[in-house]
Amino acid sequence: ERNSTWWKEGVLYQIYPQSFKDTDGDGFGDFRGVIEKLDYLESLGITMVWMNPFFESPLVDNGYDISDYRAIHPRYGTMEDFQEMLDGMKSRGIKFVLDVVVNHSSDEHEWFQSARSSRDSEYRDYYHWWPAEKGKPPHRHSLFDPEGGWDYVEETDSYYLHTFAEAQPDLNWENPKLRQEVYDIMKFWAEKGVDGFRMDAFQFASKDTTYPEFPEGHEKDFVKWYGMRPQLHEYLKEMYKEVIEPYNVFAVAEGAGSTFKDAHDLVDADRNELQTAYHFEYVDMSRTPERYELSEFKEVFTLWDKEFSENGWLAIFLSNHDNSRLVDRFGNPSPEFRTVSTQMLNTFLLSMRGTPYTYYGDELGMTNIDMPTIEEYVDIDAIGKYKTALAANEDVEEFMKVLNYSSRENSRTPMQWNDTDNAGFTSGMPWKKVNPNYKEINVAAQENNPNSVLNHFRKMVKLRKENEVLVYGDYQIIQQEHPEIYAYTRTLDNQKMLVLLNFTDQDSNISLPEVNSLNNTLINNYEALTINNNTITLKPYQAAIVSIK
Ligand code: TEU
């Protein structure tokens, strides 16, 4: 949909604040650290930053459990630091996207503290309750808690609902007062100058308040059973009127429902709900060390692109704080191929139609960290899964193999700035172990190497920003059945580009009629592009974009 706006044309960079840069030596990244690195952010060419939660929180789920939505957790700094960071971004043309975690709050939020203590509390209906006199609530699956989604509270002899951890009670969106509270929180941050909102776990916000039993065997289509209730759309329209439109901001949903129609209903312009969303279909594809299929990868991206070529707009990501590292999942992390394969994946991400989201460190090719034993894990998700596996008598060795590959801890290690102690992240004891490969993979080492992942990323961002065709152009896949190469064109008016990506560690050939009309090579992660007659030979993980006459 070519209805131009900055959030479609930009490139977003995700910062996990506790892992980016520490300036006070407490081992946690902070706002002053981001301020120190503003020039670095600008040098990347990115135009938006989404920062994970930094609010007051008991930190049961690394800040996705908020106890005060208007206060900053002291480890990140003060409101003044926040404002200085925001202003610093603005003056460099970088917009700021706030993480809004309102499917649930922390159990330490004053609303919940009051609600749990009395059935007459004015905040009681801010949450979901099942009074014990009705017996036990029907079983409900929880994403983090192996014991299920209801927990008993003695003071008021009732159960409360939590889709995630026990310490993350779900907020009751059916209550108009609660919704107003949320809009007020969003306005508070919009007044400070925030440009966009990322709605966390938003598909689950609205519920069937009869809380029906989860049909067995449906753990995989969780969203379909628990999420995307029809009234969600009313609430989003209300949010649009209250916040999005008057403040001229945008909102992106984590998750896009379970059908294309769900996704369109969330983001199409004429809906006046959200502006964009990202779905998980390809990310869900590589949750185990078993290699994903390129054919499936191509199919998923091609289908979603086609579906959104006329109406609606999506964001694209290949990694984030909930997934293991980009190069480990979709590329090749071996020392021989990690540079070229990360460059290939960044070429892909930045040449597709949707707004690209790059996770910090992926502009360097940061990799997974090896954590073979459960004792090293702190993430509530990992620990919950481990308990579930034990309870189900799963093969623990096999389970640990999968966890080591796929856990969220992999992508939360400190940013690798240089080869000094702790990768230049902190002068203290880092909250999470630095990946030992920081001596080779770090910003300083890549800064002056024109062929580094970092400089390739900058070039690719620049190419996208200078060529509308990479943003709005039609996408056409070529030889979809090719088992090794992903090739496609992007076309806008009379501009056309050919994207060639070798997804394997071998040379691979592709024969194309377009070979005769190739113009300039605009970006290439190798010296040359080998062409013989009609055949192009791509080196291992070679990625090139060529303009076509
Ligand atoms: O994630 C929501 C979500 O759907 C998760 O189940 C995600 O798939 C999971 O983390 C994968 O292991 C959001 C946040 O991105 C996540 O970090 C939070 O833990 C979660 O919400 C609860 O707020």
Q: What is the ipTM of this complex?
A: 0.95
User: Looking at the structure, do residues 326 and 385 belong to the same domain, yes or no?
Assistant: no
Q: What is the average per-residue pLDDT within 38-62?
A: 98
In a domain, 168, yes or no: no
Q: What is the mean pLDDT of the chain?
A: 95
In a domain, 467, yes or no: no
In a domain, 1, yes or no: no
3-state secondary structure 509-535: EEECHHHHHEEEEEEECCCCCEEECCE
User: Looking at the structure, do residues 101 and 11 belong to the same domain, yes or no?
Assistant: yes
In a domain, 167, yes or no: no
3-state secondary structure 207-227: CCCCCCCCCCCCHHHHHHHHC
Residue 363 — very low, low, confident or very high, per pLDDT cuts 50/70/90? very high
| Residue 122 token pair | 């004015």
Ligand 1 mean position, distance from CA 144 (Å): 9
9 in contact with ligand 1, CB cutoff 6 A: no
In a domain, 169, yes or no: no
Neighbouring CB atoms inside 10 A of 419's CB total 14
Q: Which of 143, 224, 280 to mutate to test the pocket of ligand 1 (most atoms within 8 A of CB)?
A: 143
Rg of the chain, C-alpha, whole Å: 23
226 in contact with ligand 1, CB cutoff 6 A: no
Q: Which of 421, 437, 460 is the last residue of a domain?
A: 460
User: Looking at the structure, do residues 195 and 300 belong to the same domain, yes or no?
Assistant: yes
- pLDDT tens sequence across 96-151: 999 999 999 999 999 999 999 999 999 999 999 999 999 999 999 899 998 999 99
User: Looking at the structure, do residues 100 and 120 belong to the same domain, yes or no?
Assistant: no
* 200 a catalytic residue: yes
In a domain, 56, yes or no: yes
Torsion of CA 15, 16, 21, 26, to 10 degrees: 160
User: Looking at the structure, do residues 59 and 139 belong to the same domain, yes or no?
Assistant: no
Name the helix (H) or strand (E) containing 245. Answer: helix 245-247
201 in contact with ligand 1, CB cutoff 6 A: yes
* 474 a catalytic residue: no
User: Looking at the structure, do residues 398 and 266 belong to the same domain, yes or no?
Assistant: no
Domain harbouring 544, CATH code: 2.60.40.1180
User: Looking at the structure, do residues 225 and 317 belong to the same domain, yes or no?
Assistant: yes
Nearest CA to ligand 1 atom 3: 201
- Number of structural domains (the chain) is 4
Domain harbouring 134, CATH code: 3.90.400.10
User: Looking at the structure, do residues 224 and 316 belong to the same domain, yes or no?
Assistant: yes
**Ligand 1, atom nearest to 165 Cα:** 22
User: Looking at the structure, do residues 147 and 191 belong to the same domain, yes or no?
Assistant: no
381 in contact with ligand 1, CB cutoff 6 A: yes
User: Looking at the structure, do residues 379 and 367 belong to the same domain, yes or no?
Assistant: no
In a domain, 87, yes or no: yes
* Cα–Cα distances in angstroms (integers) from residue 91 to residues 47, 85, 134, 345, 452, in the given order: 11, 10, 57, 30, 28
User: Looking at the structure, do residues 213 and 326 belong to the same domain, yes or no?
Assistant: yes
Q: Which of 19, 64, 65, 281 to mutate to test the pocket of ligand 1 (most atoms within 8 A of CB)?
A: 64
3-state secondary structure 42-63: HHHCCCEEEECCCEECCCCCCC
99 in contact with ligand 1, CB cutoff 6 A: no
Ligand 1 mean position, distance from CA 515 (Å): 44
Q: Catalytic pick from 22, 30, 166, 200? A: 200
**Ligand 1, atom nearest to 321 Cα:** 17
- pLDDT tens sequence across 312-324: 999 999 999 999 9
Domain that holds residue 453: 6-105+176-373+411-460
- pLDDT tens sequence across 177-234: 999 999 999 999 999 999 999 999 999 999 999 999 877 777 677 778 888 899 999 9
User: Looking at the structure, do residues 352 and 385 belong to the same domain, yes or no?
Assistant: no
In a domain, 468, yes or no: no
**Ligand 1, atom nearest to 65 Cα:** 23
Domain harbouring 233, CATH code: 3.20.20.80
Q: Which of 387, 406, 425 is the last residue of a domain?
A: 406
